[in-house]
């Protein structure tokens, strides 16, 4: 089921490329976080493995293309780009604007001049925590398609609400939306609940 986590699909893509014979992955439901699957398929293609249409020919030895440069990580860069959007003097370099990484959407989202911006988290779930902080300070936002955020390393819906409310903003959630309202930030202690985001 593609609506639960792209990680199942990316793991299968790697594993099936090492098995004998041809394998097919049949994704049911809507494929969420598709950019993460695209990144995996591009990496496999770089090493000679074709996974087009989720058909994987196994027993295919990975072939090194020689030197490979790993591009900058938009998910981690988003924290610094968010700080810059809030007025910090930060310069972020080495992020490929043509990357298949879905989280590169952060640049377009941060430049949108709108109060209570509506943002779908379907393909960019890892951006929600940092964007919630930014938009609680910039006019608010409504994040939709957030159901899967409850299944991450923590319940990111609950932890983001707790974080924003402790910081002085207001955050509320329904089953499929997370809304952050602007507020005045205060000094406080935040529990990261063991989640790297």
The contacts of residue 167 (CB under 8 Å, 6+ apart) are 133, 136, 183, 185, 186, 188, 190
Q: Is 126 a catalytic residue?
A: yes
Cα dist from 64 to 41, 49, 61, 132, whole Å = 15, 11, 10, 40
Of these residues, 73, 103, 126, 176, which one is catalytic?
126
DSSP state of 123: S
d(CA 49, CA 13): 10
CA-angle at 196, arms to 190 and 197, nearest 5°:
75
The contacts of residue 109 (CB under 8 Å, 6+ apart) are 117, 119, 127, 131
d(CA 42, CA 90): 30
- Report CA Rg, the chain: 19
What are the two backbone dihedrals, phi and then psi, of residue 30, each rounded to the nearest 5 degrees?
A: -80, 135
Catalytic residues: 126
């Amino acid at each position: 089921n593609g609506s639960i986590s792209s990680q199942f699909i990316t793991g299968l893509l790697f594993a099936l490329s090492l098995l004998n014979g041809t394998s097919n992955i049949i994704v049911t439901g809507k494929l969420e976080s598709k950019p993460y699957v695209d990144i995996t398929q591009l990496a496999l293609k770089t090493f000679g493995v074709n996974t087009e249409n989720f058909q994987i020919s196994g027993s295919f030895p990975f072939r090194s293309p020689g030197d490979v440069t790993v591009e900058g990580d938009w998910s981690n860069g988003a924290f610094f780009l968010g700080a810059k959007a809030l007025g910090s003097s930060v310069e972020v370099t080495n992020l490929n604007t043509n990357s298949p990484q879905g989280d590169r959407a952060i640049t377009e989202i941060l430049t949108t001049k709108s109060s209570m911006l509506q943002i779908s988290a379907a393909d960019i779930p890892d951006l929600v925590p940092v964007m919630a902080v930014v938009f609680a300070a910039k006019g608010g936002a409504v994040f939709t398609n957030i159901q899967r955020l409850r299944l991450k390393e923590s319940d990111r819906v609950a932890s983001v609400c707790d974080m924003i409310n402790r910081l002085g903003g207001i955050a509320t959630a329904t089953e499929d939306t997370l809304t952050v309202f602007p507020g005045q930030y205060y000094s406080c202690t935040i529990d990261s609940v063991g989640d790297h985001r």
